[in-house]
Amino acid sequence: MNYPVLQSVRALDDYTLVLVYGATDSRVFDVAPYIKGDWYGELRDISYFKSVRIAGKTVAWPDGQDLAPHELYENSMPLGQVRGKL
């Protein structure tokens, strides 16, 4: 499947990401279930978590943690279905 191109990402204080794929496609992805162990555990530091950026077709953090593009899209919810995120 071809997924839309990720245009922007914003990290929120509750360990979710607001993902913008286009003018009418914004989604929310919950990273909290991934934050365990040494590697992804670094994301518990909220300032580090908020250093997320777009890297190619996905998102990544400075030390190299990333998430698969299909996982971001398939496991996120449309922003309109999530209350109070903006």
pLDDT in tens, 63-83: 999 999 999 999 999 988 876
Pick from 78, 48, 79, 54: which is nearest to 67 by CA?
A: 54
Put simply, whether the predicted model's pTM sits higher than 0.95 gets the answer: no
C-alpha–C-alpha distance, residues 59 and 56, integer Å: 8
How confident is the model over 44-58, as pLDDT tens digits? 999 999 999 999 999
CATH code of the domain covering residue 63: 3.30.2020
Query: Does residue 86 sit within a domain?
Result: no
Query: Does residue 84 sit within a domain?
Result: no
Number of domains in the chain: 1
Query: Does residue 25 sit within a domain?
Result: yes
Taking CA atoms, 34 is separated from 7, 16, 84, in Å, by: 23, 11, 22
